[in-house]
Structure 1
Amino acid sequence: MSYQVLARKWRPRTFHELVGQTHVQRALVNALDQGRLHHAYLFTGTRGVGKTTLARILAKCLNCTAGGKGDEGVTSTPCGQCDSCRTIDEGRFVDLIEVDAASRTKVEDTRELLDNVQYAPTQGRYKVYLIDEVHMLSTSSFNALLKTLEEPPPHVKFLLATTDPHRLPPTVLSRCLQFTLKHLPPERVVEHLTHVLGEEGIAFEESALWLLGKAAEGSMRDAMSLTDQAIAFGQGVVHHADVAAMLGTLDHRHVLALVETLAEVDVARLLEEVARLAEQGPDFAAVLDDVTAILHRLAVAQMVPDAVDSGHGDRETVLALAARFTAEDVQLYYQIGIQGRGDMAHAPDLRSALEMTLMRMLAFRPQGVPRPPATPLPLQPERPAEPPPASPIPKSEPALEPARDAAPEPDSTLEAAPEPASQPAPEPVIETAVETAPVPPEPDPAAPEPREPAASDRLDHAGWLDGFAALGLGGLTRSLAANCQLKHDDGATLELRLDPEQAAMQAEIHETRIARALAAQGLKRRVAFTPEPLDPTLETPRQRESRLAQARHARALDTLNRDPHVQQLKETFGATFIDNGVTPARGTD
């Protein structure tokens, strides 16, 4: 027996076997069950989504003899066993006239076709005209078809299919019920291929099916044809490496490695990865497209983690990478990638264009010039804070710590002070300092004492609200912190209760930035977010800002309304205030 390709062997025979066209299936099934049959149907969509398949299933539903004779025998579940169903599946049904409009475009062909419309069906209940690629008909052919298409005999149904409905005359569109078939997402394609290969007993790797699903570009027929090719290429087994070689696509792991170098801010490794790619002779423009596609998925992962797709079977990897970027970096990198893609046409060669685009991402990142990081996150600006690791404990005045972090030169002068202490000349200077401040030597030996005032220095929620503006936070970090309430401060860790709606933006970099801002205000704390419902009795900084702004606006309106000049204008000209146009002056209470 000759081999039958998968696309034909697994072609749906009933509505319930369709994949991914639920909206069309539901409408047709309900119409058939209720007996509300139109005389002309138009199926539109790209190649391989099921237009002709749907038309043939509908033809079987109209002519299946298992339901009985007459119009009442129409069913939405054809038996597939009667003579009508079997001959339609085999392409031998006399009353199903399939026409390829691409090869019969002349008006004479259309007239010849319509000459037999008036005759009753020979074998079935209805005579069905299936015209594929109907947009290829000439204007004269459409004109010849119009009258019959609008008022056909009761025993005739027209099923039209096209990939380009915009080329159909409005007069034809208005005479048909139109159904638009959707692209099939890779997830649905992979799911169906998994079922088919399982039934066929063919071993496969799931990552290989994702490559096929992406390459199909929404067409199930293309996916099945590519799968046939992959089976032959891999000698009966569908492997990832074989499919990648067959399709000529780049190994997705190389693209992920490029994005990882962006997370590590490692320019040297970035150039090494590009050099490895160059050995495979890839399309560098396609590589940049893949990088920007991953950046888009990282942005989705940061905002709505549950919405991240598994387009290459790498969902967990994408979620892990998303935690290593800030939202600002992802948005900036994406914009630079899109701009760099357009600039590639003017570059001396595509490899240098790719390298320059990736290095531009790191050069313009918000946190400054890239350096090889010691941690998974790019935290180079914190390097100056490394020298005083032991100082937070002995310090009795935390306000002095940010001064040392911001200006290392005063630190050197303080360190030089003990040396002249042994010389006779500086001693009078220290003694005079003792006269004005009788307790100068206490800051150094008073290491255990800071724990006593630490209890009073612990931040409460009122202090969090009052000092929020002074933290000087900006961008996404400020937006995140403004939706937090202070949950607990034990002197070492500041725990912030985060609005669950904002939890998707949570990242370690934001905790680090808030901790750095608190240290600048004299509070050495580690910051931790706890996503949980907010306490309705407490305000967040954003809620407080909104309330104070409304109060200032109300006071400004009241002040204006009581102004005698304003009152005179109202009385003389009938003037009224536009509330939204009143803005309180800066610094007003």
Structure 2
Amino acid sequence: MSYQVLARKWRPRTFHELVGQEHVQRALVNALDQGRLHHAYLFTGTRGVGKTTLARILAKCLNCTAAGRGDEGVTSTPCGQCPSCQAIDQGRFVDLIEVDAASRTKVEDTRELLDNVQYAPTQGRYKVYLIDEVHMLSTSSFNALLKTLEEPPPHVKFLLATTDPQKLPPTVLSRCLQFTLKHMPPERIVGHLSTVLAAEAVPFEESALWLLGKAAEGSMRDAMSLTDQAIAFGQGEVRHADVAAMLGTLDHRHVLALLEALAEVDAARVLTEVAALAEQGPDFAGVLDDVTGVLHRLAVAQMVPEALDNGHGDRDSLLALAGRFTAEDIQLYYQIGIQGRGDMAHAPDLRTALEMTLLRMLAFRPQGVPKPAQTPLPLRGDPGTPPTSQGEDSASAPPAPQAVPDPAAAASASAGPAPEATAPAPAPEATVPAQARPKSEPPAEPPPPREPAEATPPADSPSPAAGAPVVESPVAETPLVQAPADATSAVETPAVETPAVETPAVEAPVAEPSTPESPPERPAATPSREPVLAPEQEAGELTHDAWLHGFDALGLSGLTRNLAAHCVVEADDGSELTLRLDPSQAAMQAEVHVERIREALAAAGVERRLTIADGPLPEDVETPRQRADRLAAERHARAVEALQADPQIQKLQQTFGARLIEASVKPADAPARP
């Protein structure tokens, strides 16, 4: 016996075997059971969703002659064993006239067909005319069909099927009972394929079925045909790698790997993943489409997790991945991806366009915003409650011990000649326990998650090696009531550019601090709940100096942090605080940001009504952003000066005519700008 393809072998023969289309199945079953039959049915829908199958099942229901049903035995459950049912299944039932309208479009063909309508059925109870692709008939053919279609003889039923109902004349549509068949979702296709392959004893991987379900694009017949092809391609098995190679589609796992690299803000890993993709010769435009598609699904997963579809069988993976992004990042990445897709036509090549789009996502991500360890889902749109990236209330967390810089140690680091050193020694991290703090100094609130800063040893420890540049440390992490101090920092030295000789990178010597002496034993104290941003004690007001020194302790992030960083304290009467905003940032002001700043101030001990007004700033007052820029410029200048005074750098300049690229100098512990 010749092989029968899966699409024909597993074609449903009753309504109860039909996969999907429950809305059509329910209407037809109820009509058959109640005897409320229409004379013309129109089934519409895309290819392979069951239009012809439904028509044949309906023809069997109308003509089943099982014992005991008699001449009026119309049923919704045909037996499948009587001569009529078997003849319909085998395509040889005389009273089922199937017409392919695509090949019989002329009016003469339609008139010839209608000449036999008046004659009674030969074998069955009804004469059924099944006209497939009915939209292909000519206008004259439709006109010839109209009268018979509206008032056919009682023994005639018309079953019409089309993939393009818009091309049917309204006069035909009004004479038919129309049923629109839906696309098959991938979940339904995968479930049915699992049943079929299990019955056929064909080994398979579920991930391979998801690839087939996605490639079928809603058509069950296409899915069955692709499964036949996959079985032949895989030598009797359906495996993920074989199906991916057969379809020539991008492995969805590569797209998820790209999104994980974006979640980690890891540009090097992004480029590595793109390079791995390039080995498969993919359509890079399609890769970007897939990335933006997953970003859309991640946004849905954050806002309404239960609405996330499982089109790739990756619902659980996306729910876990969605918690690693902030909502703002996903919206920004999606917008950049859409714009990058339109720019691909102007790029030198598609791979370059993809890489630049992904790198642009990371480059335009707001600087200084920490990566969320896990964003709680679903996100809520309450403007009065700013979301926290750690999923917990940072205001209720006990203060943590913090490294205290020592001015004496910083001063001693700048004294003495610079020795020649070939390899810098990394400075170990050192923190001063909370017990060693002065009693008058309250412990600081923990800052937003950042890279840990290196601390310097106390003044009574041996002085570090001379020659390391002294760089002023920002006072972002210190309480407002504590005076800030400079800290010694290591400096990364860039490669030196030479005219003809390649010169290796040179690093400045780094001070190696010794371990500070152990503080005296004290009983463990309960974490202090004192505010980290207290106003001046004498006047009870928040001064602008206090605002500058305690800005980073507020823990603001994103657009709210950027808005506050461009403000200066204008007035504070103890009940209302007025901030003056740089006019260039006036467009960013919104009530949600003002509320978040007010709540951050309240959590830091400054409970006020807050007003932010835009206008010209005083010339002699700098904003937190301007202060951070100034400190960064000073740090950079000192680092450049230290490198220019380094004997090894001078030797390279004298020997090879090298020059120091000052723009590439970056202090190793440079803090994030507000």
CA contact (8 A) 1:404 1:411 kept: no
Q: Report if the CA contact (8 A) 2:258-2:270 is conserved.
A: yes
Partner of 2:234: 234
**Whole-Å Cα distance in 2 between the matches of residues 84 and 275 of structure 1?**
62
In structure 2, the partner of 1:19 is 19
When the two structures are superposed, what TM-score results if normalisation uses the length of structure 2?
0.60
Verify: 1:522 aligned to 2:593, yes or no.
no
Does the C-alpha gap of structure 1 residues 396 and 328 become closer, same or farther in structure 2, counting only changes over 3 Å? farther
The residue aligned with 1:156 is 156
Contact 1:399/1:522 (<8 A) preserved: no
Question: Equivalent residues in 2 for 1:210-229 (5 A)?
Answer: 210-229=210-229
2:79 paired with 1:74: no
Determine helix, strand or coil for the equivalent of 1:405. coil
Match of 2:208 in 1: 208
After superposition, where does 1:21-36 map in structure 2 within 5 Å? 21-36=21-36
The alignment partner of 1:99 has SS state of: strand
Report Cα offsets for 1:360-406 as digits up to 9, x if no partner: 11122234599xx8979999xx9xx9746657674755487689426
Q: 1:347: how far off? A: 2.0
Aligned to 1:405: 476
Pair 387,293 (structure 1): closer, same or farther in 2 beyond 3 Å: farther
**Could you give the per-residue CA deviations for residues 23-57 of structure 1, whole angstroms, max 9, x where no partner exists?**
00000000000000000000000000000000000
Look up the match of 1:361: 361
Q: Deviations over 1:72-114 (max 9, x none)?
A: 3100000000000000000000000000000000000000000
Whole-angstrom CA distance in 2 between matches of 1:44 and 1:71? 31
* 1:407 Cα deviation from its structure 2 partner: 7.2
Separation in 1 of the partners of 2:602 and 2:434?
13
- 1:465-522 per-position Cα deviation (integer Å, ceiling 9, x unaligned): xxxxx979688999xxxxxxxxxxxxxxxxxxxxxxxxxxxxxxxxxxx999759943
Residue 516 to residue 367, structure 1, CA distance change in 2 (3 Å): farther
C-alpha deviation, 1:321, in angstroms: 1.1
Q: Whole-Å Cα distance in 1 between the matches of residues 165 and 94 of structure 2?
A: 28
Q: What do the CA deviations read for 1:147-186 (whole angstroms, capped 9, x no partner)?
A: 0000000000000000000000000000000000000000
Give the TM-score of the pair, scaled to structure 1: 0.69
Further displaced range: 314-323 or 300-309: 300-309
Query: Is the CA contact (8 Å cut-off) linking 1:230 and 1:246 kept in structure 2?
Result: yes
Q: Which segment drifts farther, 123-132 or 59-68? A: 59-68
User: 2-side partners of 1:351 and 1:186: how far apart?
Assistant: 30
Q: Against the structure 1 CA distance between its residues 289 and 142, is the aligned structure 2 distance closer, same or farther, given a 3 Å change threshold?
A: same
Q: Which letter maps to 1:10? A: W
Task: Report the Cα distance in structure 2 between the residues aligned to 1:454 and 1:396, rounded to whole angstroms.
Answer: 14
Give the deviation of 1:319 after TM superposition: 1.9
Deviations 1:103-141 (A, max 9, x none): 000000000000000000000000000000000000000
Which residue of the partner structure matches residue 112 of structure 1? Answer: 112
**1:492-511 superposed matches below 5 A:** none
| Contact 1:205 1:240 (C-alpha < 8 Å) held by counterparts | yes
Amino acid in structure 2 at the alignment position of 1:335: Q
1:63–1:74 Cα contact (<8 Å) kept: yes
Would the aligned equivalents of 1:328 and 1:476 in 2 still touch at CA under 8 Å?
A: no
Question: Aligned residues, how many?
Answer: 446
Aligned to 1:179: 179
Distance 1:446 1:65 in 2: 99
> One-letter code of the match for 1:32?
L
Give the Å deviation of 1:288. 0.7
Q: Which residue of 2 aligns with 1:196?
A: 196
Q: Could you tell me whether the CA contact under 8 Å between 2:95 and 2:124 is conserved in 1?
A: yes
Match of 2:296 in 1: 296
The change in CA–CA distance for 1:391 and 1:336 in structure 2 (over 3 A counts) is farther
Say which SS state the counterpart of residue 158 (structure 1) adopts: strand
Distance verdict in 2 for CA 1:38–1:67, change over 3 Å: farther
Task: Return the offset for 1:216.
Answer: 0.2
Looking at structure 1, the residues matched to 284 and 369 of structure 2 have their Cα atoms a distance apart, in angstroms, of: 25
Give deviations 1:530-554, integer Å, cap 9, x for gaps: xxxxxxxxxxxxxxxxxxxxxxxxx
Deviations along 1:208-254, one digit per CA (max 9) or x if unpaired, are 00000000000000000000000000000100000000000112221
For 1:284, the equivalent position in structure 2 comes to 284
Q: CA deviation at 1:70?
A: 6.0
* C-alpha distance in structure 1 between counterparts of 2:67 and 2:27, whole Å: 20
Alignment of 1:372-521 (within 5 A): 387=403, 390=432, 394=437, 398=442, 404-405=475-476, 414=485, 451=526, 454=529, 521=603
Structure 1 residues 318 and 477: CA distance shift in structure 2, 3 A? farther
Q: Does the aligned pair in 2 maintain the 1:61–1:75 contact within 8 Å?
A: yes
Contact 1:298 1:319 in 2 (8 A): yes
Match of 1:147 in 2: 147
* % same residue: 79
**Are the structure 2 counterparts of residues 141 and 406 from structure 1 closer, same or farther at C-alpha, using a change threshold of 3 Å?**
same
Distance 1:311 1:452 in 2: 50
> What is the deviation of 1:341?
1.6
What corresponds to 1:307 in structure 2? 307
Match of 2:100 in 1: 100
Q: Which amino acid is 1:405 matched to?
A: A
1:275 corresponding residue in structure 2: 275
SS in 1 for 2:72: helix
Aligned to 1:86: 86
* Residues 341 and 87 of structure 1, relative CA distance in 2, 3 Å threshold: same
- What runs of 5+ residues in structure 1 fail to find an aligned partner? 417-443, 458-469, 479-513, 524-589
Residue 353 (structure 1) shift = 1.1
The residue that corresponds to 1:128 in the other structure is: 128
1:374 and 1:516 mapped to 2: Cα distance?
Answer: 23
* Counterpart residue type for residue 334 of structure 1: Y
Q: Separation in 1 of the partners of 2:165 and 2:92?
A: 29
Q: Which residue matches 1:47?
A: 47
Give the direction of change, closer, same or farther, for the CA distance of 1:116–1:363 in structure 2 (3 Å limit): same
Query: 2:620 — aligned with what?
Result: none
Which stretch shows the higher mean deviation, 302-311 or 18-27?
Answer: 302-311
In structure 2, relative to structure 1, the CA distance for the partners of 1:273 and 1:456 (3 Å cut) is closer
Indicate conservation of the 8 Å contact 1:362/1:369, yes or no.
Answer: no
Contact 2:208 2:240 (C-alpha < 8 Å) held by counterparts: yes
**Cα distance, 1:303 vs structure 2:** 2.1
User: d(CA) in 1 for partners of 2:306 and 2:372?
Assistant: 30
Q: 1:456 to 1:232 in 2, by over 3 A?
A: closer
Which has the larger helix fraction? 1
> Pairwise CA RMSD of aligned residues?
3.8
Alignment deviations for residues 438-480 of structure 1 (CA, whole Å, 9 cap, x no partner): xxxxxx99987974964999xxxxxxxxxxxx979688999xx
In structure 1, distance between residues paired with 2:253 and 2:527: 54
The match for 2:260 is 260
1:222 is paired with a residue of what secondary structure? helix
Shift in CA distance, 169/473, structure 1 to aligned 2, threshold 3 Å = farther
CA contact (8 A) 1:398 1:522 kept: no
Change (3 A) 1:516 1:290: farther
CA–CA distance in structure 1, aligned partners of residues 560 and 184 of structure 2? 38
Partners of 1:122 and 1:165 in 2: CA distance: 32
